[in-house]
Structure 1
């Protein structure tokens, strides 16, 4: 049985993190979020974390090679043997191509991309209503994150939409349970 590698895609506030957590618990897949990878590598002061820190301390973007290095290491961990949900990654066409190459090296490929489809107004309202008190829940930061997502979509999705049948849209305007029913059956088709 091959492993299941699935990408969750959608704007901030679409619920992909919530859904990824449920999927990983039910199906035993790893959840790979570059935000968490960065925090782990920076916190543990790993060689990749120290390299990333050099760029971040200058306010520069971390090069794709460092990000891919972190993803490569993460895919070697035991919980990723059955597969993984990529949550918020890749963010550039170069990262998408590097991910394809990395999975090919492992004799794997993306099974599916689940595109959490939600109008920007709903994403904005959800983010503004969140009570987590996160630093990135301020109105001006929310607008930047939504704009950043639009740029990421323009950079990444044409690469995947060119591969027939890879991208599956899920209506993310519904309840968490209704969305999960769809997500669960899509993931199941990759795991079986």
Structure 2
């Protein structure tokens, strides 16, 4: 049975970096809704066209479109080894829909790894990024931090209500120290 794990945490906590390292080492698949949106938009799929209609109006893409993209991705053969969700789910409804989808596919969510990081440290990391990303401007950073607080308030009650599902990792450490803890947690779900 494949492992299904959610990596959760504020912007700048390193969850994407950790997801990449873990998936490369263990042969799991990293599923990022941002990448799914870009793929569907680029390939002009029916789901991508629907998503574009909402995005072009500055509206949030409805959950059923996002879930449709995730469903399609999970049905690909490479996902049989297991999946790390990065940046998904973003609402309580998406969390419930993910549970239903995994159940439908004969699986279940094994773990949520919460990358714990103080918002002030998150802000400082984002301000200090070397990539110079377009979304690393101060006003955009504040919006991303506020958005994360809303996501956390929506998603985490659903997961915290399931005893033993959420495991917290201190994300205010060196990448390798975090990686050792994350690998131990992920490997425990694969045993």
Short-chain TM bin: over 0.9
What CA distance in whole angstroms lies between the structure 1 residues aligned with 2:135 and 2:179? 25
Confirm or deny that 1:84 pairs with 2:90: no
Paired residue secondary structure (1:132): coil
Q: TM-score, normalised by structure 1?
A: 0.98
In structure 2, what is the equivalent of residue 66 of structure 1? Answer: 65
Partner of 2:169: 170
C-alpha deviations, 1:119-170, integer Å up to 9, x for none? 0011001100001111110010000000000000000000000000000000
Q: Secondary structure at the match of 2:90?
A: coil
Where do residues 19-98 of structure 1 align in structure 2 (5 Å cutoff)? 19-98=18-97
**1:79-116 deviation digits (Å, cap 9, x = unpaired):** 21111000010000110010000000011111000000
Q: TM-score, normalised by structure 2?
A: 0.99
SS for the counterpart of 2:85 is strand
* Structure 2 counterpart of 1:150: 149
- Which digits, 9 at most, give the CA deviation of each residue in 1:155-189, with x for residues without a partner? 00000000000000000000000000000000000
Question: Within 1, Cα distance between the matches of 2:51 and 2:178?
Answer: 35
Task: State the number of aligned residues.
Answer: 191
Match of 1:119 in 2: 118
**Can you give the 5+ residue segments of structure 1 that lack an aligned partner in the other structure?**
none
Structure 2 residue matching 1:164: 3-state secondary structure: coil
Q: SS of the residue aligned with 2:83? A: strand
* Unpaired segments ≥5 residues, structure 2: none
Aligned residues: CA RMSD: 0.5
